[in-house]
């Protein structure tokens, strides 16, 4: 390809990036022409080489678009309701998701959705998720729109928060895993990897190629925003579990994301609302919060997510999202992370004091490569473009970010797409069930006491009718008689419940989120599932029917209770 004058600045910036690893750039460099140039086709070889070839052809507008990953309104790429069109116009000045991809030359799109007991719900403004066929149609349409772009030889990133447990966007028609905390209770990395490979295969079949999971935060506090999303309180165990999830997902062709760096589980505050502080000293942070991320990086996680946290020991007063000391010096320099660094949602309360454009520039300058969910796509795009052209965003830094994003895309393109028939297959369900069964933990009573004579009455705190129904059906399938009232009481409590939601006459109390509330329960038998998913309720039924032993061990300490009372 001839080196025309308009390509020289971009090529020079790319060379500077590759040599200096992003340590500055020439803010006086002449911006390339805005006229589009043909995309460089992939060589079919090394993803990094393909990315370098493609990035050298891209205009300013293309470069800026590749670092944006917003959400959009609508369950189809090209046909949306009047309400969704209005939402997209407010967010990005377009009617449909496909138009958003094309206008802003987006690097990716995140699918969003509502779910019960979701601690991340405050920044989920809409939903793109209804059923597998709809999701597949949406992702197909988004990819078709992206293929028309100058960077279209690299596939669009389509991401989702599919953590399992309280944050699960796609529930129906797919294999659902137990929560991370349940996985930590099972304590078997081999089971974890197998289950996450099954889940990753199904995401890939749906057209999703980035999962914003696993949560790598150590649960050092009773945090409602992290809670059962964490693998537990032990940094080494959390790192092992997160690493297994990474291997499972990426073995299936879906990029994993370690989050929320440098560790949201060390604060009980919620970055969806405000800027939490981490007040621990550096030694404590390294040993307890950061070490699981190092394990996940060593397992070759392709993404890490930066958190909106004020880390007092490293860069006081600056959200980690905007901290070059944390992201470039610590994460890149000390931990050796070489993949894509994505922000947490830029529409969250912790970073809302800055305009969308200013926040976007600050985040990229700090070392992020991909901006998730900007609150106004137009402002973020225009802010980045203006900063690139006036030199306040060094061209080398942006080229470095885009090169990483494109390298990830070409890496993902080497994986084939599984058939939709793989969804909720018997093999996948079995992998999830083995993990869930291994997670059930008994914290009071002998092993034998968990087996209940019938009849059984299932009760719960308010709003859990569906979970009671699922457990009732699973008990009956396991041969246990269930009656509406008068039987041995099994009482369910979960996310957000307090001591007043316990039942004094329950023979068995079951904790379906973090197990801390069980410390206040009076039941003779205490069990923890850490999850209200159907697979966890099936595992619970097997234990109550005496068909399985509650062999899990609590991954967090519960005052007054052992990690397990079922000793063998």
> What is residue 490's predicted lDDT score, i.e. its pLDDT?
98
CA separation (Å) from 120 to 110, 162, 414, 463?
14, 12, 32, 19
Structure tokens at 341: 């660094």
- Report the candidate in 530, 534, 531 with the shortest Cα–Cα distance to residue 424: 534
How high does pLDDT run on average in the chain?
Answer: 90
Q: What is the mean predicted confidence (pLDDT) over 20-27?
A: 35
Q: What is the mean predicted confidence (pLDDT) over 27-44?
A: 41
Helix (H) / strand (E) containing 390: helix 377-390
With tokens 């998720």, the residue in question is 129
Q: Which of 86-100, 211-225, 232-246 has the lowest mean pLDDT?
A: 211-225
Q: Quick check: 36 pLDDT over 60?
A: no
Q: What is the mean predicted confidence (pLDDT) over 431-460?
A: 96
Collect all residues with Cβ–Cβ distance below 8 Å to 9 and sequence separation of at least 6: 29, 30, 31, 32, 395
Q: Quick check: 544 pLDDT over 60?
A: yes
Q: Are 310 and 347 contacting, i.e. CB atoms less than 8 angstroms apart?
A: no
Active site residues: 272, 344
The span from the CA of 72 to the CA of 94, in Å, is 10
Q: Give tens-digit pLDDT for 37-86.
A: 444 455 557 999 999 999 999 999 999 999 999 999 999 999 999 999 99
Please state whether the predicted TM-score (pTM) of the whole model is above 0.85.
yes
Strand order in the sheet with 303-306: 257-261, 303-306, 340-343
Q: Quick check: 302 pLDDT over 60?
A: yes
pLDDT band at 264 (very low <50, low <70, confident <90, very high): confident
> What is residue 273's predicted lDDT score, i.e. its pLDDT?
56
The span from the CA of 167 to the CA of 171, in Å, is 10
Q: Which of 348-357, 365-374, 414-423, 426-435 has the lowest mean pLDDT?
A: 348-357
Q: Quick check: 26 pLDDT over 70?
A: no
Q: What is the mean predicted confidence (pLDDT) over 451-480?
A: 95
Q: Give tens-digit pLDDT for 324-370.
A: 999 999 999 999 999 999 999 998 877 888 899 999 999 999 999 99
CA separation (Å) from 280 to 1, 12, 269, 313, 543?
53, 42, 14, 7, 40
- Report the candidate in 158, 147, 52 with the shortest Cα–Cα distance to residue 407: 52
> What is residue 266's predicted lDDT score, i.e. its pLDDT?
75
CA separation (Å) from 370 to 25, 122, 303?
19, 21, 10
* Measured torsion, CA atoms of residues 48, 54, 60, 64, in degrees rounded to the nearest 10: -50
Q: What is the mean predicted confidence (pLDDT) over 16-38?
A: 36
The span from the CA of 339 to the CA of 347, in Å, is 23
Q: Quick check: 271 pLDDT over 60?
A: no
The span from the CA of 49 to the CA of 212, in Å, is 26
- Report the candidate in 323, 385, 324 with the shortest Cα–Cα distance to residue 357: 385
Conformational region of residue 228, where left means phi above 0, alpha means psi within -120 to 50, and beta covers everything else? alpha
Q: Give tens-digit pLDDT for 492-527.
A: 999 999 999 999 999 999 999 999 999 999 999 999
Domains of the chain, each with CATH number or no CATH: 8-414 (3.20.20.300), 433-544 (3.40.50)
Residue 226 C-alpha from the chain's centroid: 12
pLDDT band at 256 (very low <50, low <70, confident <90, very high): very high
> What is residue 35's predicted lDDT score, i.e. its pLDDT?
36
The span from the CA of 207 to the CA of 157, in Å, is 10
């Amino acid at each position: 390809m001839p080196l025309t004058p308009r390509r020289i600045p971009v090529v020079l910036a790319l060379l500077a990036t590759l040599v200096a690893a992003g340590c500055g750039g020439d803010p006086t460099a002449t911006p390339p022409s805005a006229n589009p140039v043909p995309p460089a086709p992939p060589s079919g070889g090394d993803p990094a080489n393909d990315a370098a070839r493609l990035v050298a052809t891209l205009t300013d507008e293309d470069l800026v678009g590749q670092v944006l990953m917003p959400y959009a309104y609508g369950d189809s790429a090209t046909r949306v309701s009047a309400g969704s069109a209005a939402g997209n116009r407010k967010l990005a000045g377009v009617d449909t998701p496909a138009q958003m991809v094309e206008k802003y030359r987006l690097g990716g799109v995140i699918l969003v959705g509502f779910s019960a007991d979701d601690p991340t719900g405050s920044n989920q403004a809409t939903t793109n998720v209804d059923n597998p066929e709809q999701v597949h149609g949406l992702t197909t349409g988004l990819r078709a729109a992206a293929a028309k772009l100058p960077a279209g030889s690299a596939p669009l990133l389509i991401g989702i928060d599919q953590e399992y447990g309280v944050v699960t966007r796609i529930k129906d028609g797919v294999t659902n895993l137990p929560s991370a905390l349940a996985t930590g209770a099972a304590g078997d990395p081999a089971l974890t990897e197998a289950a996450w490979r099954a889940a990753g295969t199904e995401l890939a079949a749906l057209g999703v190629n980035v999962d914003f999971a696993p949560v790598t935060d150590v649960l050092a506090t009773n945090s409602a925003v992290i809670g059962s999303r964490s693998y537990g309180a032990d940094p080494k165990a959390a790192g092992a579990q997160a690493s297994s999830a990474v291997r499972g997902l990426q073995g299936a062709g879906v990029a994993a994301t370690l989050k929320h760096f440098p560790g949201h589980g060390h604060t009980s505050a919620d970055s969806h609302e405000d800027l939490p502080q981490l007040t621990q000293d550096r030694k404590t942070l390294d040993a307890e919060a950061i070490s699981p991320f190092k394990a996940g990086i060593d397992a070759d996680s392709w993404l890490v997510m930066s958190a909106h946290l004020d880390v007092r020991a490293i860069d006081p007063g600056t959200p980690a999202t905007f901290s070059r000391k944390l992201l470039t010096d610590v994460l890149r320099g000390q931990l050796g992370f070489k993949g894509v660094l994505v922000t947490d949602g830029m529409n969250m309360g912790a970073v809302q004091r800055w305009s969308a454009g200013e926040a976007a520039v600050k985040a990229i300058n700090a070392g992020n490569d991909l901006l998730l969910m900007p609150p106004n796509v137009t402002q973020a795009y225009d802010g980045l473009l203006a900063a690139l052209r006036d030199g306040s965003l060094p061209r080398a830094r942006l080229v470095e970010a885009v090169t990483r994003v494109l390298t990830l895309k070409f890496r993902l393109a080497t994986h084939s797409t599984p058939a939709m028939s793989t969804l909720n297959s018997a093999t996948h369900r079995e992998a999830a069930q083995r993990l869930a069964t291994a997670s059930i933990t008994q914290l009071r009573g002998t092993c034998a006491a968990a087996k209940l004579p019938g009849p059984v009455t299932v009760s719960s705190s308010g709003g859990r009718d569906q979970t009671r129904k699922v457990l009732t059906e699973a008990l009956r399938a396991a041969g246990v008689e269930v009656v509406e009232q008068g039987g041995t009481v099994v009482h369910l409590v979960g996310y957000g419940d307090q001591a007043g939601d316990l039942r004094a006459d329950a023979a068995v109390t079951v904790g379906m989120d973090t197990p801390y509330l069980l410390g206040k329960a009076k039941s003779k038998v205490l069990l923890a599932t850490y999850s209200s998913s159907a697979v966890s309720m099936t595992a619970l039924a097997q234990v109550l029917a005496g068909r399985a032993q509650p062999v899990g061990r609590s991954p967090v300490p519960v005052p007054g209770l052992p990690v397990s009372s079922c000793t063998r």
